[in-house]
Structure 1
Amino acid sequence: MLLVSPIIIVPSLLILTTLFILRRLRSPLSRVPGPWYTLFTSIPIKWHEFRANRTRHVDALHRRYGPAVRIAPNEVSFSSAAAVKEIYCSGGSGYDKTEFYNLFTVYGRRTMFSTLNKEDHAKRKRVLADRYANSNVMKAESMQGIEERSGRFMEMVQGSTGSGRGGSGSLDLYITLHSYAFDCASHHLFHPFGANSLQKQEDEDIMREVTFDSSLQNRLVRYYSPTLHGIMGSVLRVFGATPRETPLADKFVLDNSARGPDARPFTLLSRLSDKTWDLESLSIAAECLDHMAAGIDTTGDALCFLMWELSQPRSARFQEALRAELREAVVGGRGEGWDRLPYLDAVVMEGLRCFPAIPMSLPRYVPAGGRSIGGYFVPGGAIVSAQAYSVHRTDVGVFPEPDRFNPERWLAKEGDAERKRLFFAFSNGGRGCVGKHLALAEMKILLRDVYSRFRTMPDESMSEGEMEMDDQLISSRPAGQRCLLRFIPDDGTETGSREG
């Protein structure tokens, strides 16, 4: 037949291909620096996402092409302070989120984090923002919960130096820090119904269910191709791409969410259960589970990466300077609180700069009509984003030797405003991390308790490769999902440890 003759098909394909190429070359995004192939396909960036390597791939592109880089035909990544301000702060809450955040719905409900437009987000934020205000976090009952859980963590540390849990002289911080983060988060959400995973195995099982998650590839397929996901769900399981299933966490949250009238006034549950807000029970549970999961992964991973770095020989000077400040404040009775110790603050800031809890891209849609971002016109409907990992590294004038962990850069008065302007660990604008004050309190209290009494060093069985970043949807965890450290008391003894 004439219609299927190669004489017709080949020229038609050539014409269509030529038109496709011309259209891409005439796109406003063709002027944005980036690999040539990103004008035509998004396959490379998706490949890196499936390989849990998107963060480092995008960062490598920024290092080659600069603070604006095209990463797909309709997507641009930025890393300058001006671009971050435009995308995430303009109009108060920045641009609207993309459908990527549909992956974060819970029980079929949108939470504050997964709302797409700023109006819906503002409504939900009005309900719960004051539970995370610093004034509420610093209340005695809230602080007591964190202090108690840090004390339980220290009992495990003390046990690891002798014949305690494991009896090996080392402690797996990946487990214990995520347990600590879980216990602290659930205290702030549900007290007096919070978890005690540092001491109770059934609660540790809940933490493990949330933390040891292998659903990345499955969820990415569901996002990019729901039809394919529906067809190949069982096949994906064969290759280890399992869906996210958390029955223990679901039961814990659903049971506790029904106890709203008995929750303490400072908790999120108390606020959500207030009849003023008229929230259905499943929406309350969804919000609580979202906050609980976020609190476990972000604080747990950030502390894990930070304490690993502090334990390296290259960071010995910084650990000793931190210990000197803490011993003087805690043991010496100088009296300063954990929130007024400059070196501790510098260590946490540098830890979050090098190892942000959410290092990955936070995608947004450019509003209709397009916008000028970072010196380039980006049309409406295009996807733009910034990732903290690159925002914290691209401008070497602000952060010299950006890959080097150096807390003392935060002690210098010169350049302080610029450093803070480029600090993106908690995102920026009205949709920035609502739990940052709680996270900082948890981090600083635990670091105070550890380093006022112990030195830390890596267990000899650990390798640097195990602590490489392994991307999840927006967070990153240690690739080996373990972090063994040895704790040496101030008296210098290390009973029960393995000596080489």
Structure 2
Amino acid sequence: MVLNDCLAPIGRLGMAVVLLLAYPLFKVIYNLYFHPLANVPGPPSWSASRFPFVWALLKGTIVHDIEKLHRRYGPILRIAPDEVTFSKPEAWTDIFQIHPDHQQFLKDPIWWKRQPGQPDSLLSAINPESHARIRRLLTPAFTPRALRAQEPIVQRYVSLLIERLHERVSEAEDGKGVEIDIAPWFNYTTFDIFGDLGFGESFNCLQHSRYHPWIALLFNSVKAASFVAAARFYPLVEFLLMKCVPPSLKKMQMDHYQQIVDKVQRRLNWELERPDIMSHVINKNGEIGLPIGEINATFMILTTAGSETTATVLCGTLNYLVTYPDKLAILVEEVRKTFHSGDEITLEAVRNLPYLNAVISEGLRLCPPVPWMLPRRVPVGGDTVCGTWLPGGTPVSLQVYSLNRDPAYFHSASSFLPERWLSEASTDPNSPFFHDERRAVQPFSVGPRACMGQHIAWAEMRLVLTKLLWTFDFEAIEGKKLKWEELRTFLLVEKKPLEVRMKLRSISG
């Protein structure tokens, strides 16, 4: 009897251990065969556990891994036990647009919620009313009318870019040009432009031909954000991760944020005679229309969203142009026949160059600055996406990179062919691009959260490419060609050096 009493606790402990060990197996079986998403196509390993998704996210290969899975399993893909992603044009409407008698798909807090104790920003505001309140105040700063008033600022920094590059190219003595990694120069330009438009002061990257320390730290923080998001799928891991952050790293993060706070504060204390983005936050009485915390957080986000993304597309587009010299030659001819001097190159003058617009559209297709539209949540009660009913709370996302390169929607989908965007491609039934799903390419998203800055992004891309090609000749360097398809993604694209050979334009050009 005494022996039985002694063994009883051991038996209960053993049973607990067995149940603990068996739980993961039961969970896998449930996910594969009994989960509400069990009928959605996808690889068994990803459907059974969140781990393959997290591993791909941490490696930076998630965009390419999911593209391969889409090609195998189709445009509707289960990428985790409770998550579905899409590579269909209809997903833009079903997920991101607002429909009568349907609830809105809200941002997934796993990805979008603000850090504890931090204010909401334009990006992190999950509540539609909060987002609309912030957006309503900022929208006038990004209209075509506002852009016309901002043109002198944009022109100043693009001209400075040309001047700095001209200095380096002029150093070549053999007439063969110089080899330059042009990728950082695009970042210098776009960050300087936004610094002036947003805060009334540049980051001075072009002035000093190097990154401002704030921007250099920004690139590492974007990668770190992927790790933070991965940890949120495992609350205990997130808790331990937050506890293990060293004080020095916390201080670095605060210093990073404080630099934007200081820029905002200086701008609020200035009276500028020219309009900028911040001028729309301040009313006629000098009062700010948002809580100061929301302004700081929003302008920190806008600095990245308004700069890094545009630089990514410029980098990718020029990379494809030098890789496809026949397409580069067509664009150079259009630019140099249209303009007889650099002074003629204005935002209005470059707006309607057909081949330039086609080149940028193709660059946006193949090099989307945001390759993966992060998840929204299916509203309570469930809803249908691309003909598939999903239960409420299901995270759903759209794979831009996969969709834009899908042979089912684009002729020669992986090739850089700007001709697919010319008007005759959509009107001539004999064109190989006649059946291309051009509406599938939505680089600035759609719906109430579509990018406000698309007008200025287009203006910057047109002006930078036009002035570069009017001034310089470019060509690829054998053995140093950048393969865009091999770049990793940590929320944003991790760019590598784009080394090109540059020289002053030939007289015949």
Deviations 1:58-77 (A, max 9, x none): 11111111110000011000
Change (3 A) 1:359 1:227: same
Distance 1:445 1:243, change over 3 A: farther
- The answer to whether the aligner puts 1:331 opposite 2:340 as a matched pair is yes
Q: 1:454 to 1:16 in 2, by over 3 A?
A: closer
CA contact (8 A) 1:127 1:277 kept: no
Query: For residue 496 of structure 1, what is the aligned residue in structure 2?
Result: none
Q: Which residue in the other structure is 1:308 paired with?
A: 319
1:120 matched to 2:130: yes
1:138 aligns with 2:154: no
CA contact (8 A) 1:152 1:198 kept: yes
TM-score, normalisation: structure 2: 0.84
Question: Quick check: 1:60 aligned with 2:68?
Answer: yes
Query: What TM-score do you get using the length of structure 1 for normalisation?
Result: 0.86
Q: Which moved more, 1:328-337 or 1:94-103?
A: 328-337
**Residues 159/122 of structure 1: CA separation in 2 closer, same or farther (3 Å cut):** same
Q: CA deviation at 1:264?
A: 5.0
Q: Which residue of 1 aligns with 2:4?
A: none
Matched, 1:290 2:301: yes
Q: Do structure 1's residue 380 and structure 2's residue 395 form an aligned pair?
A: no
Pick closer, same or farther for the CA change 1:155–1:461 going to 2, 3 Å: farther
Q: C-alpha root-mean-square deviation of aligned residues, in Å?
A: 3.3
Q: For residue 220 of structure 1, what is the aligned residue in structure 2?
A: 229
- Structure 1 segment 42-121 matched on structure 2, within 5 A: 42-91=50-99, 94-102=104-112, 108-121=118-131
Deviates more, 1:214-223 or 1:366-375: 214-223
Runs of 4+ in 1 over 6 A off after TM superposition: 234-237, 241-244, 332-336, 415-418
**Structure-2 residue corresponding to 1:270:** 279
1:483 to 490, 498, 509: 498
Whether contact under 8 Å (1:197, 1:203) holds in the other structure is: yes
2:457 paired with 1:448: no
Q: Deviations over 1:50-97 (max 9, x none)?
A: 001111111111111111000001100011111221100133995100
Equivalent-residue separation in structure 2 for 1:97 and 1:68 (angstroms): 20
Show the counterpart of 1:497: none
Partner SS, residue 84 of structure 1: helix
Q: Give me the identity figure in percent.
A: 24
Maintained 8 Å contact 1:178/1:207: no
1:377-423 per-position Cα deviation (integer Å, ceiling 9, x unaligned) = 110000000021122123x3431121111111111124779644201
Instruction: State which drifts further: 397-406 or 351-360.
Output: 397-406
Of structures 1 and 2, the larger Rg is shown by 2
The 5 A counterparts of 1:158-169 are: 158-163=166-171, 169=178
- Aligned-partner Cα distance in 2 for 1:8–1:250: 50
Unaligned ranges ≥5, structure 1: 494-500
Equivalent positions of 1:461-480 (< 5 A) are: 462-464=480-482, 468-472=486-490, 474-478=491-495, 480=496
Q: Which runs of 5+ in 2 are unaligned?
A: 1-6, 428-432
Instruction: Give the match for residue 192 of structure 2.
Output: 183
Instruction: Work out whether residues 82 and 374 of structure 1, in 8 Å CA contact, stay in contact via their aligned partners in 2.
Output: yes
**Equivalent in the alignment of 2:359:** 347
The answer to whether the Cα contact below 8 Å between 2:113 and 2:125 also exists between their aligned partners in 1 is no
Q: Given the alignment, which residue of 417, 420, 426 partners 1:413? A: 426
User: What is residue 165 of structure 2 aligned with on the other side?
Assistant: 157
Deviation at residue 278 of structure 1 after TM alignment: 3.6
1:188-267 → structure 2 map (5 Å cutoff): 188-191=197-200, 193-200=201-208, 204-211=212-219, 213=221, 214-216=223-225, 218-225=227-234, 227-232=236-241, 245=253, 247=255, 250-260=258-268, 261-264=270-273, 266-267=275-276
- 1:195 shift after superposition: 2.9
Q: Distance in 2 between matches of 1:168 and 1:105?
A: 48
3-state secondary structure, aligned to 2:125: coil
Tell me how far apart the structure 1 counterparts of residues 388 and 335 of structure 2 sit (CA, whole Å).
Answer: 47
SS at match of 1:358: coil
Give the direction of change, closer, same or farther, for the CA distance of 1:432–1:194 in structure 2 (3 Å limit).
Answer: same
> Does the 8 Å CA contact 1:31/1:376 hold for their aligned counterparts?
no
Instruction: Give, as a single letter, the amino acid of the residue that structure 2 aligns with 1:127.
Output: L
Displacement of 1:18: 4.7
Q: Would the aligned equivalents of 1:210 and 1:249 in 2 still touch at CA under 8 Å?
A: no
Deviation at 1:369, TM superposition (A): 0.9
Alignment of 1:8-27 (within 5 A): 10=18, 17-18=25-26, 21-22=29-30, 24-27=32-35
Structure 1 match to 2:430: none
Cα distance in 2 between the residues matched to 1:111 and 1:7 = 49
What SS is found at the alignment partner of 1:464?
coil
Does structure 2 conserve the Cα–Cα contact (< 8 Å) formed by 1:98 and 1:365?
yes
Separation of aligned partners in 1, 2:476 and 2:148: 33
TM-fit CA distance, 1:26: 2.7
